Amino acid sequence: MTKGILLLHGPNLNLLGTRQPEVYGRMTLEDINAAAARHLASYDVELRTAQSNHEGALIDRLHEARAWAHGVVFNPGAYTHTSVALRDAIVATELPVIEVHISNVHGREAFRRESLLAGVCLGQIAGFGAFSYLLALDALLRRWDMLRD
C-alpha cells in the first residue's frame, strides 16, 4: 500500500538559501523538497510538501494530513520553542511525526534547546543540515519496514 508523507516546513524556511547560510546552508526550500522526492523515488511513497509562516496554516495542514498521510516530517522553525497549539495538533493527527532541524538547536541559544513538540513526536533529528530531512524520511521508511540498505 502506498504510504503518504507530508513534508512540512514552518516559518522563515521559505528564505532558505539566503537566510543565515552560515547556520542553515545554501540549499533552498525547493532544493530540499527535490532532494526528498529523489530520496523517495524508488519507494512506494506519495510525498506532499507545504510551507507556511503562519501557525494556524500549519495546524490546518496537520489536520488535513489525517485524511491521507501515514507520517509527517516537520521542521516547525521557531514555533518549536513556543507552540502549544502545534503540539496539540501533532497529538491530534495520531500520526508518527518527526521533528527536524537543520541546525543543532542544542548548541545554540538556550531558548532553542527547549522543544514543546519533540515530546509528542516519534523523535527529533537536528544538526545535520539539509541531510536531517533525509534521515527523518529514512526513520519513517524503517518504521514501515520499507528501508533498503
Relative to beta strand 97-101, strand 123-126 is parallel
Q: What angle do CA 82, 121, 35 make, to 5 degrees?
A: 95
Pick the binder of ligand DQA from 4, 12, 14, 85 (CB under 6 A): 12
Residues 55-94 that bind ligand DQA (CB under 6 A): 75, 77-78, 80
If binding is defined by CB under 6 A, does position 15 make contact with ligand DQA?
A: no
Q: Which is nearer to ligand DQA, 90 or 105 (CB)?
A: 105
Establish whether 106 is a catalytic residue: no
The amino acid occupying position 71 is: G
Of 9, 70, 101, 133, catalytic: 101
Which burial class, exposed, middle or buried, applies to 16 when counting CB atoms under 10 A from its CB (0-12, 13-18, 19+)?
buried
Q: Which is nearer to ligand DQA, 56 or 107 (CB)?
A: 107
47: Cβ contacts below 8 Å, ≥ 6 apart: 5, 7, 36, 37, 40
Q: Which is nearer to ligand DQA, 62 or 70 (CB)?
A: 62
Write out the residues near ligand DQA by the rule CB under 6 A.
12, 75, 77-78, 80, 101-103, 105, 112
